[in-house]
Structure 1
Amino acid sequence: MSLWRYELRMMLRSRVAAAALVLLSLLALASLVAGVQRMDSQREAIARISALHAEDLAAVSAGHGDSTDAGRAAYYSFHPTWNPPSPLAFAAVGMRDVAPYILRVRALGLEAQIHDGDTFNPELALAGRFDFAFLLTFLLPLFVIALMHDIRSAETETGRERMLRSLPLRMGRLYARRATVRMAALWICAGLPFLIVALQQQVAASQILAVLGLTAGYLLFWAVLCLLVAWRGWNSGVNAATLASLWVVVALVGPALANVGIERAIPVEQGAGIARAQREAVNGAWDIPREDTMRRFYAAYPEWRDSPPLGADFHYKWYLAFHQNGDDAVAHLVAGYRQGIEQRTAAASALGWLLPPVGLQVALTRMADTDMQAHLAYQDRVRDYHAQLRRYFYGFLFTDTPFHEPDYDKAPRFDADR
């Protein structure tokens, strides 16, 4: 035990090592505070939805009076959906920094509403916000390099290694103990702030242990890399330059090149293209005979084919029917977009086995429910809710049932847990 304490004292005597540990602790705390503030602001925005929706619905219903037209209610009333952050989301913000987590929808064509919210290119969102995942992935290796690049060369350059070799001890054990002490110090400086904040955020114990385990494994990868370079026998400057170059290749260049390769290998139609195609289908429906529009709608939704025929005047059931036809017209584009995104996500996950920085990011965002899979799952919940809205308003429109002011409050409400 005295040897371990000696190695700890030796490390703390180094101003560079002590400063690095203090700086790592401060950066870890800053990244965690930034993540918590970001998630708290999103939770506050979500908490205000109900009150704002009630005000908006009251204004819509008051403006129409005791309306008997459900189509007007379907057109003018917006219905909120939201994607609440998980307790661990503060540690890995992921897609929540670029993807909409609140979306107000109407009972009109949905795909344009969904993809209008995607004002980002998710496949090109690389490093992302400064959060705990960013600290672990990109900055922690630099601290490993700072503490480990001279683990052997410092002894060689000062001549102490020759003296140590004359003593009855194994040099391999000495350097292994030294590396263990430094890695443990880095793990504590990064992990202890996370542990404190995670407990405060009521993160599950299994997830806390998983994050700490991933941190230890990632530290081990870079420690082994540093030891392999150190055993080449180069001086400290060459070791530092070599390890810095490896960091650039492994953490920056490799993931960027792999991302470009995945995008070229798996082309995906962007969400804006889907929204444009849906709008073109909807706008073109004004020039199509109404009988053709309704025939196509009833063929896809036969449960409404017994609706009374259209008269000469405008009727909202025709308007909502060609909006639904517009959604159906781009269904193949939506399916292709979904399949392409899922293939890219799977390819990135597989890449994590070759590039540990990518693997760490994928694992953290998956546990925090902030990855692309979580965003697609939110879109699925929005689609299910939109189907409920359509059925509700169709029940009035296609049976010519009067729609009164109390019926606004009877519309389905979004359930984020479904």
Structure 2
Amino acid sequence: MSIVNSLVREIKFTVRDRTIWFWMAIVFGLSAISLGFGIAEVERQNASIQRLIKIDQQDRVAQLEKQKSWGSAAYYSFHLSYDAPSDFAFAAMGLRDSQPWKHRVRMLALEGQIYERDVANPSFALIGRFDFAFFTAFIIPLILIILLYDLRSGERIAGRYKLLEATVGQARNFWLLRAGLRGAALFVCIIVPLVVAGFIVGTQASTLLFACLYVFVYVAFWTLLCSAFSAWNKTGSVILMSLVTVWVCTAVILPAGARLTIDKAVELPSGSDILMLQREAVNDAWDLPREATMNAFFEQYPEWRDYKPVESSFEWQWYYAFQQVGDQQADPVSNAYRNGRLRRDQLATWAALLAPPSLLERSLQSLAHTDLQASIHYEDRVRAYHAELKGFYYPKLFQNQVFDQSQLRDLPQYKVTQ
């Protein structure tokens, strides 16, 4: 019964503390605001995708109706590909602010198309988006520090510390209980808006459960850390500065230092380098002997080696062959870029073990499919779709099939997967 009595007593004490109510209201409000921003952004992206799907379909139909050959049909028709936000993306937008999530691809060289992107908002690139993941990972520890740094020093200043420890029995359990109640109240104020938002947008229950678990462990970690520091027999200002120093180290210095170290350790080309290399290869092909281009193409597609070339200054088979050769020449650099990003991300994951704010943010982004793995998975889907388009057009081009408008109804459709 003593445990129950202590719990009831501390709950009553916590409820009477207006300062705690103030910070709980702040946390609840900021959590709801961050989720509201996320839901609005997801709705904007979904609306943009639906609008683009309609426009893309209308534009392609209009263009294909004008064409008289397979080559021109492939050249003038665009095909929309996109990575729709997941049902949890509203909580952690991740790389969707900096990595492309929609393309309109053609049968031309693909690498340059993949690494073309919309101009991003420079403020998001600099400071990131205020989403639930950022709020929970970086702001919540500061609020916990404010609530718990003077847990004991405040009682010392008020002259109640010795009396409290003399009357509660096991003093250690008493202070842990008081800190735990404040941490639990904070956790509820964070999670309730998240769960409500999740139900509104239809997030899977398992995803919400894991998100709640991650946040619970994170809040418990900072609650125990603050409680341990508050036991230090120092003034409140010293304890406060010590905890803020820990936060600065784990939230700013360690992640920034790790990123600089990883970037130097794992060098990789940029997307613009790949784009320029592919474009130079395509442009140079106009001045090369046609046989050189076709032989390089046949190394990748030997099944078309026996095609019958058209005796003219221009033929679509040769044109699409040197587009493919441009991709082949850029392929080693593109693979280096892809593998380098994955390696950097892997090292950043290990480094995040020393930086809890980064670890929580990355964990939530992984749940939301807005991390680097999801971005590269989308790029792979675009490449697979482009390969399907080539699989549709190449037989018609290299077998010199007669153009038939009705067959364009069988054009591959982009498949949406997560």
Assess, with a 3 A threshold, how the Cα gap between structure 1 residues 417 and 376 changes in structure 2: closer, same or farther: same
Who is 1:53 aligned against?
56
Contact 1:268 1:337 in 2 (8 A): yes
Q: Which residue is 1:37 aligned to?
A: 40
| 1:406 shift after superposition | 2.9
The CA distance in 1 between the partners of 2:120 and 2:254, in whole Å, is 23
Q: What is residue 287 of structure 2 aligned with on the other side?
A: 287
Q: Could you give the per-residue CA deviations for residues 98-131 of structure 1, whole angstroms, max 9, x where no partner exists?
A: 222111100110000001127679xx96862111
Equivalent residues in 2 for 1:383-402, closer than 5 Å: 383-402=383-402
Distance change in 2, residues 1:80/1:387 (3 Å)? same
- In the alignment, is the contact (CA less than 8 A) between 2:279 and 2:326 conserved in 1? yes
1:186: how far off?
Answer: 0.4
Secondary structure (helix, strand or coil) at the match of 1:409 reads: helix
Letter in 1 for 2:372: M
Q: Larger deviation: 364-373 or 159-168?
A: 159-168
Q: Which runs of 4+ in 1 moved over 4 A?
A: 118-121, 124-127
Deviation at 1:10, TM superposition (A): 2.3
| Matched letter for residue 344 of structure 2 | R
Counterpart residue type for residue 232 of structure 2 = R
Query: Whole-Å Cα distance in 2 between the matches of residues 263 and 197 of structure 1?
Result: 36
1:74-94 deviations in Å (ceiling 9; x for gaps): 111100111111111111110
Partner of 1:28: 31
Counterpart amino acid of residue 96 in structure 2: R
- Whole-angstrom CA distance in 1 between matches of 2:296 and 2:251: 53
Asked whether the 8 Å contact 1:118–1:271 carries over to 2, the reply is no
Contact conserved, 2:24 with 2:189, CA < 8 A, in 1?
A: yes
**Whole-angstrom CA distance in 1 between matches of 2:304 and 2:118:** 32
Distance, in Å, in 2 between the alignment partners of 1:300 and 1:258 is 40
Aligned length: 414
Range that drifts further, 10-19 or 281-290 = 10-19
How far apart are 1:299 and its partner, in Å?
Answer: 2.5
CA distance in 1, matches of 2:330, 2:14: 62
SS at match of 2:103: strand
Which secondary structure state, in structure 1, belongs to the residue aligned with residue 167 of structure 2?
A: coil
Native 8 Å contact 2:97 2:120 kept in 1: no
- Kindly indicate whether residue 183 of structure 2 is the aligned counterpart of residue 180 of structure 1: no
Secondary structure in structure 2 of the residue aligned to 1:167: helix
**Counterpart in the other structure of 2:403:** 403
State the distance in 1 between where 2:354 and 2:32 align. Answer: 29
Q: Alignment partner of 2:374: what SS?
A: helix
The letter for the 1-side match of 2:185 is: A
Indicate if the aligned counterparts of 1:107 and 1:389 stay in contact, CA closer than 8 A.
Answer: yes
Q: Name the amino acid aligned to 1:57.
A: R
One-letter identity of the residue aligned with 1:130: F
Sequence identity percentage: 36
Counterpart amino acid of residue 146 in structure 1: I
Q: Is there any run of 5+ residues in structure 2 with no aligned partner, and where?
A: none
Q: Where does 1:190-201 land on structure 2 (aligned, <5 Å)?
A: 190-201=190-201
The amino acid that maps onto 1:391 is G
TM-superposed deviation, 1:158: 1.0
Question: With structure 2 as the length reference, what TM-score do the two structures score?
Answer: 0.95
Q: Following the alignment from structure 1 to structure 2, what is the Cα–Cα distance between the partners of residues 238 and 17?
A: 22
Name the stretch that deviates more: 402-411 or 174-183: 402-411
Report the Cα offset of residue 159 of structure 1: 1.0
3-state SS of 1:402 partner: coil
Aligned-residue CA RMSD (Å): 1.9
Give CA-to-partner distance per residue, 1:297-340, whole Å, 9 cap, x none. 12221111121123133111111100100000011111111111
Contact residue 75 and residue 106 of structure 1 kept, 8 A: yes
Distance 1:389 1:112, change over 3 A: same
CA distance in 2, matches of 1:61, 1:170: 81
SS class of match (2:104): strand
The residue type equivalent to 1:386 in the other structure is: H
**1:227 maps to which residue?**
227
| Partner residue, 2:71 | 71
Contact 1:127 1:134 in 2 (8 A): no
Q: Distance in 1 between matches of 2:164 and 2:40?
A: 51
Which residue identity is paired with 2:392?
Answer: Y
Between 275-284 and 360-369, the greater mean CA deviation after superposition? 360-369
- Give the aligned partner of residue 237 of structure 2: 237
Q: Which runs of 5+ in 1 are unaligned?
A: none
Looking at structure 2, the residues matched to 90 and 165 of structure 1 have their Cα atoms a distance apart, in angstroms, of 46
Checking the alignment, whether the CA contact within 8 Å between 1:114 and 1:379 is kept in structure 2 is yes
